[in-house]
Amino acid sequence: MRPEHKALGEYYFHGKTIDESAKSAGLDSSELEKLVQDINKKSIPALQEFYAKGGSHGYIADKYGLNRNELYAFMSRHKLNKNYEDEESKIKIMALAETQNLPL
């Protein structure tokens, strides 16, 4: 497994901090922070479209320059449902889109 993938998994799926995740994978924190910011920036509009129109996770991820695992990671970290009809997830992603305030 590549160190970046390990660190991203630690951050998104296990709830560790950027520093903890980077250290466990042998990466520099600033490098991991850039990766996370890029995924976050792409995931918000991708998920806005997904929750508005439905469709395939893979198609939406690819359209916005992500892979499906990155999109799932973002959804996991922010406790978003994989069902596009989930009203709570629609509200959450709209709030994230409005504020763009994502803690690292």
Domain locations along the chain: 3-99
The interaxial angle of helices 18-25 and 3-14, nearest 10 deg, is 150
Tally Cβ neighbours within 10 Å of residue 31: 15
Share of the chain above pLDDT 90, in %: 85
d(CA 72, CA 43): 9
Mean pLDDT along residues 30-51 = 95
Mean pLDDT along residues 28-49 = 95
pLDDT band at 88 (very low <50, low <70, confident <90, very high): very high
Angle at 9 between CA 7 and CA 14, to 5 degrees: 110
Tally Cβ neighbours within 10 Å of residue 34: 11
